[in-house]
Every structure is written in C-alpha cells, then in structure tokens.
Amino acid sequence: MIEKIKDNILFKGLSQAEIENCIRCSKAEIKIYEKNQIIFSQMDPPKALYVLLNGSVSVCKDSPDGRRYIVTNIEEKDIFGEVYVFLEKVDYTYYVLVNAKSSVLEIPKEYFFSTCDQACNAHSVIIQNMLGILAQKAFFLNNKVQLLTSGSLRQKISKYLLENCQSKKYVQLTMNREQLAAYLNVTRPSLSRELINMQDDGLIEVDRDMVKIIDFDSLMATL
C-alpha cells in the first residue's frame, strides 16, 4: 500500500516510516469495492478522505431527467472527497461510482482537523499538503467551468483536446466515449458525430483511445 501512495501529493515530503505511522495514527482502513458499487451517495454525510489504491472510479451527478453527468474520473493513487472533509454540516452533492474492482484507502476526516497528541511533524505536513490539494481542486474546477461554457460542441471538444495534448500532436483519452460525453455534458451520439465531422474536416484523426491533432492552428481557431 505504501508503494501505491508514497508519491501522492498528500504524503509529499514524508518518509515511508512517517507515512506508515500516519496511516496507523489516523485509523485508516482499506476497503474493496466491486464494479458498479457506490462508495458514497448524494446526501450521505462526509466521513473520510479517499485514496484510490487501484481500480477505477468516477465522481458523478444525475440530471433531473436521469442522465448521468461525470464530474471527473479518478486515477489510481489520486484522492477524492477532500473538499467535503472541511465543509461543516454539508452532505455530498455527488456520488462516486466504481467502474472496475477497486481498493480504496479511507482516512477518517477527523484526522485533518488537528495534530495528534504526539504533535508529530508528519501530521502537520499532511495538513499543509491538504492546502495545496484544495488549491489545485479550485484550479481544476475553474477550468471545467470554462470548458462547459465554451459554446458549441466543437469548441468544447477542441478545448478538451488542446488542454490534454502532448507536444501539439497526440491526446491519449483516459475516458471511453460514454464517459467523455458525460464529462462534456452532451449525448454520446452527438459526441461521436462531431468527432467524425472534425476528422472529415482534417482537424484530427481518431484511433480508439488516441486522437492525433492534424491541424493544430485550425483547432485553436475554433475556440
């Protein structure tokens, strides 16, 4: 487990021994979830901060018409539920769905409110690291708002590709077509249709989960 989480920003600056001590001190637990299980639901009271050790989960919200909207997909070693740890008397407004069998480290929220009786330096470092994590979260959400307000579907796709491209050439999609459509808040057929149109217009080439940017300047001009 330590190998899985030692590079996580939550434990930045800590030795393996310090991480192990923090896990014991916090009374954290590892739980296993099967595909399609819900880790926490909307309206549940927040009880922990979660670290995905392996597997795949998505943070979701359902629209009034029952359509699932994916807020974000969680990668291995990433954390989730961190914002709600510090919101007093606020229940979850999202739910977390397991996409594939996953193991999750669950750290009780009380651990982040004050240092333990031993006043160890590692505990203080973790709390400081949380400030950086929350700042990154605010930055991500700001970018997501900009993406969803980009205008046309082509503009949304272009913005997403440009933000995730490598050396102006390739974008490795970390979501399947259905997940990406939910992330962009559009239907899957509309997304597939527009990707085909963009390919026909010579902007991109799509090969399964890889998108090659053919005309970077024209893609930029769509924004």
pLDDT beneath 50: ranges in the chain: none
Q: What is the pLDDT of residue 199?
A: 95
Q: Tell me the C-alpha distance between 111 and 106, whole Å.
A: 11
Q: Is 140 helix (H, G, I), strand (E, B) or coil?
A: helix
CATH of region 2-147: 2.60.120.10
Q: What is the pLDDT of residue 117?
A: 64
Q: Phi/psi of residue 147, each to 5°?
A: -65, -45
CATH architecture of 150-221: Orthogonal Bundle (1.10)
CA-based nearest residue to 197, from 159, 164, 158, 163: 158
Q: What is the pLDDT of residue 56?
A: 94
Which positions ≥6 away from 124 have C-beta within 8 Å? 115
Contact 35, 103 (CB under 8 A): no
Continuous H helices in 52-120: 82-85
Contact 108, 48 (CB under 8 A): yes
Q: Where in the chain is the domain with CATH 2.60.120.10?
A: 2-147
Q: What is the pTM of this model?
A: 0.66
Q: Where in the chain is the domain with CATH 1.10.10.10?
A: 150-221
Q: Tell me the C-alpha distance between 71 and 94, whole Å.
A: 8
